Amino acid sequence: MVALVQRVSRFEKQMDTRFEKFIIHHPFWGLFLIFIGLPLTALAVVGLCATIAALAMAFMFGWI
């Protein structure tokens, strides 16, 4: 379990470093991703999960 936590921590640090370099080299695209891309991605994931949950409930109760 400790090895998994260390691996995830190392991956997180690598991604943070890469994203920081990206923002330094491309400030416009970095801000675009932070303020538009990430919120839209989060909304899409929430919508997808809600749709899957609603379809599962519909199938369980025989509405579809």
pLDDT tens track for 6-48: 999 999 999 999 999 999 999 999 999 999 999 999 999 999 9
Q: pTM surpassing 0.85?
A: no
**Residue 52: both structure tokens together:** 């899957």
Composition of the chain by helix, strand, coil, percent to 5: 90, 0, 10
pLDDT at residue 64 above 90? no
pLDDT at 11: 95
Q: How confident is the model at residue 63 (pLDDT cuts 50, 70, 90)?
A: confident
Provide DSSP, 18-39: HHHHHHHH-HHHHHHIIIIIHH
Sole residue written with tokens 């379809």: 55
Which two structure tokens, joined as six digits, stand for 33? 């991703």
Q: Answer yes or no: are the C-beta atoms of 64 and 58 closer than 8 Å.
A: yes
Of residues 52 and 64, the one with the higher pLDDT is 52
What local confidence, expressed as pLDDT, does residue 20 receive? 93
